[in-house]
Structure 1
Amino acid sequence: MKMYLTSIFSDPERLDRMMSIAQSSLLPLVKGALTYTIPLTLISFSIGLVIAVLTALARISSVKPLQIIAKIYVSIIRGTPLLVQLFIIFYGLPSIGVTIDSFPAAVIGFSLNLGAYASEIIRAAILSTPKGQWEAAYSMGMTYPQALKRIILPQASRVSIPPLSNSFISLVKDTSLASLILVTEMFRKAQEIAATNYEFLLLYTQAAALYWIICFLLSLVQGQLERRLDRYVAK
């Protein structure tokens, strides 16, 4: 690395060229983040959260078939790499006649993956609710669904928000894997630009810096949200 930096700063022409490449590539990278990386994250997280809630409820239900299905789903997703899951959806399914475009394939893969991991967070949050809350709800004449909706899930959501926020930030970084199934998100843009000028280290570092900025801003939002929750709980 030291020799690389020395070679750059000792060559004014190459330094100017790299500065020019960095400036010209910034807008395409930001565009890739705005048009694919961020939408992919938001859509996948939203769908994955719905899957997570349903899976968590299935895991704690008294219906054995639902429990078994939910356990198998979580076990398969948590026991296989996300990259393999994406490849199966995008490259594997066409072999049996099911062809899915790259962006929907990425959404399906990320949603299923997040749903499995987030379901454990939500399940733990629900189970951490004191039994007295259930008993109080039943004593008021509430049914099981009413108790869940009005009493249990609101409390569980406050417990699960911090770890779910971490999952959201991790998902932002994981979207870079979508480049391997041809989604032209930010990292894919960096690869395409680097293929034309061969400045791979520069472009990949620039993409990494943008990922860091996005995640840093999200971590600030997460911190603010957690402080508000702490004040709410304290009251």
Structure 2
Amino acid sequence: MNKIVIAIDGYSGCGKSSTAKAVAKDLGYTYIDTGAMYRAATLHFLNNYLSPANPHDVEKALKTLDISFHLNPESQLQETYLNGLHVDDEIRTMRVTSKVSEIAAVPAVRKDLVAQQQRLAKKKGVVMDGRDVGSVVFPEAELKIFMSANLNTRAERRQAELLEKGEMVPLEDIKSNLAERDRIDSTRSEGPLIKVADAIEIDTSHITFAEQVGQIVQKAREIIEKESSYAGKH
């Protein structure tokens, strides 16, 4: 069977990462969390007191930045490592969330991480989520999805995620943060968040998690079958 690249883009709090993970598991594909990469880079800047506005600091950060993914054999979940340390919990805190769009907007950071992402997906058979996967990282992806949801729904979901980690953040603060991230992500000069013309939009405001995963898996299987059938005839 031919393997494809599935690019899932969309706004913060739409459930991109959890959806992408479930789609990858269902198809037996590799999941690449581009958002985790930008979060890890943000944590690196914060921990080393480096400013994204200072070119020297940016250069220093990128020289000492090592992001990798490792599959946990017990949980079968992919885990994010920053310079050898497991950081999945730390990169999901509001400390990182409040700064990640600022770091992700730095051209040198985007260029470095996009190159890494393209190398990771070169062999296909991957599901990659982010904000510019279908437009910049893999514009040739066979299946492009754009996920959206209304602001209230996204804020409530994010608050629930934070509560699970023991972090209580007022809903209004989360809504403000999401709205600001939307603004930065959509207006930055490098890899802005856009819905490309050939992307399929899925509004997750009023559908279940299983439904959104099912829609993507069904579409992926249709494309895989079509690609495999075409390859078999040529």
Give the structure-1-normalised TM-score: 0.29
**Greater share of helix residues, 1 or 2?**
1
TM-score w.r.t. the length of structure 2 is 0.29
Higher RCO by CA contacts (8 Å cutoff, separation 6 or greater):
2
Larger proportion of strand: 2
